[in-house]
C-alpha cells in the first residue's frame, strides 16, 4: 500500500525503466540541445557529427525517442529476434528497449558497442538497473573493430552511430546476417548506404519508415542466404 509520507525520491524510483531513462536523457541533453539551437541561430546550419572526445557530447544521451523505442521493441518482437547487434549504444536507451523484447521473446543476446568509455559505464549501469544485464554485452571501442567477430545468426541490427560509418559497419556484419535479418538505420543520410541497401543485387530490400514523432528509419531486410 502506498505510504502518505512517500517522498519525491521514492516516486522517481517507481518510474518504469523507460520513463526514467527518457527523463535522465532529457536532463543530460539540455546543454547540448541549447548548443545546437544557438549554432542554428548563428549560422543557420544544424550541427552534424560530434568528435568522440567532445565533452558535451560525451555526457549527452542522444537517445531514441519513446515512439522510436517502442518501434524497436515491436520490430524485435514481431521478428522474434534472439541475436541483436547495435552500433552506437550511447547510454543504452535503445539497448534497453531491444533487450526488453529479447526477454519477451524468451531470451537471446545483444552485442552493443560504444567508443566513449563514460557512456559504456553508464549504459551498463542503466541495463543492470532495468534488469537486462544478463542479455547484453557492451563492447567498448570503435565498432569497426569491436564488431568484427559477432558470430553467425544475427537477426536484427540497429545502426545508430556516426552516419558515415553505416555502410562500413553493415559490410562488416554482412557475413554474420541470418536470412531475413532486419537492419534498422537511424537517419540514414549517407547516399552510399542508401544506394547499397536499395539495390536488390546486393541482397537487400529496403524502404524508409517515418514515425508520427518525425523519426526517420531506413528499414532493410537481408534476403540472401
Ligand atoms: C545517437 S547516439 C546512440 C544513442 C543510443 N542508440 C540510444 O538510443 O540510447 C550515437 C552513439 O554512437 C557512438 N558512436 C559513434 N560512432 C561510433 C563508433 N565508430 N564506434 C562506437 N561508438 C560509436 C557515439 O559515441 C554515440 O554515443
- What band does 92 get if pLDDT is binned at 50, 70 and 90? very high
Residue 213 lies in domain: 66-222
- DSSP assigned state of 64: P
Q: What is the pLDDT of residue 27?
A: 82
pTM confidence score: 0.87
pLDDT at 44 over 90: no
Secondary structure element (H or E) that encloses residue 110, with its range: strand 109-114
Q: Which of 36-40, 59-63, 122-126 shows the lowest mean pLDDT across its residues?
A: 36-40
**Per the domain annotation, does 10 fall within a domain?**
no
CA of 184 to the centre of ligand 1 (A): 14
Q: What is the pLDDT of residue 5?
A: 44
More confident residue, 60 or 114: 114
Q: Report which protein residue has its CA nearest ligand 1's atom 17.
A: 161
User: Cα–Cα distance between 110 and 17 in angstroms, integer?
Assistant: 18
**Per the domain annotation, does 135 fall within a domain?**
yes
**Per the domain annotation, does 70 fall within a domain?**
yes
Q: Give mean pLDDT, residues 66-72.
A: 95
Give the total number of structural domains in the chain. Answer: 1
**Per the domain annotation, does 42 fall within a domain?**
no
**Per the domain annotation, does 174 fall within a domain?**
yes
In tens, the pLDDT along 102-156 reads 999 999 999 999 999 999 999 999 999 999 999 999 999 999 999 999 999 999 9
Instruction: Give the domain CATH number at 154.
Output: 3.40.50.150
**Per the domain annotation, does 123 fall within a domain?**
yes
Residues sharing a CB contact under 8 Å with residue 216, sequence separation 6 or more, in sequence order: 186, 187, 188, 208, 209, 210
Residues sharing a CB contact under 8 Å with residue 192, sequence separation 6 or more, in sequence order: 167
**Per the domain annotation, does 101 fall within a domain?**
yes
CA of 160 to the centre of ligand 1 (A): 6
**Per the domain annotation, does 146 fall within a domain?**
yes
CA of 104 to the centre of ligand 1 (A): 25
Nearest CA to 63 among 28, 25, 96? 25
User: Cα–Cα distance between 173 and 85 in angstroms, integer?
Assistant: 9
Amino acid at each position: 500500500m502506498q505510504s502518505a509520507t512517500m517522498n519525491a525520491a521514492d516516486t522517481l524510483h517507481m518510474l518504469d525503466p523507460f520513463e526514467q531513462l527518457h527523463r535522465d536523457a532529457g536532463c543530460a541533453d539540455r546543454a547540448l540541445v541549447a548548443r545546437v539551437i544557438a549554432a542554428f541561430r548563428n549560422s543557420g546550419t544544424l550541427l552534424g557529427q560530434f568528435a568522440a572526445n567532445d565533452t558535451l557530447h560525451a555526457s549527452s544521451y542522444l537517445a531514441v525517442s519513446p515512439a522510436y523505442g517502442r518501434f524497436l521493441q515491436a520490430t524485435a518482437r514481431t521478428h522474434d529476434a534472439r541475436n541483436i547487434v547495435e552500433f552506437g549504444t550511447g547510454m543504452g536507451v535503445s539497448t534497453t528497449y531491444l533487450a526488453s523484447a529479447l526477454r519477451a521473446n524468451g531470451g537471446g543476446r545483444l552485442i552493443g558497442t560504444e567508443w566513449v568509455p563514460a557512456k559504456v559505464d553508464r549504459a551498463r549501469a542503466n541495463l543492470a538497473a532495468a534488469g537486462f544485464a544478463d542479455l547484453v554485452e557492451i563492447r567498448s571501442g570503435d565498432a569497426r573493430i569491436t564488431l568484427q567477430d559477432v558470430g553467425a545468426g544475427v537477426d536484427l541490427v540497429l545502426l545508430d552511430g556516426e552516419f558515415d560509418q553505416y555502410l562500413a559497419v553493415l559490410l562488416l556484419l554482412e557475413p554474420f546476417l541470418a536470412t531475413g535479418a532486419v537492419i534498422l538505420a537511424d537517419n540514414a543520410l549517407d547516399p552510399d548506404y542508401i544506394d547499397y541497401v536499395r539495390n536488390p543485387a546486393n541482397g537487400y530490400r529496403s524502404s524508409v519508415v517515418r514515425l508520427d514523432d518525425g523519426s526517420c528509419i531506413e528499414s532493410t531486410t537481408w534476403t540472401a542466404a
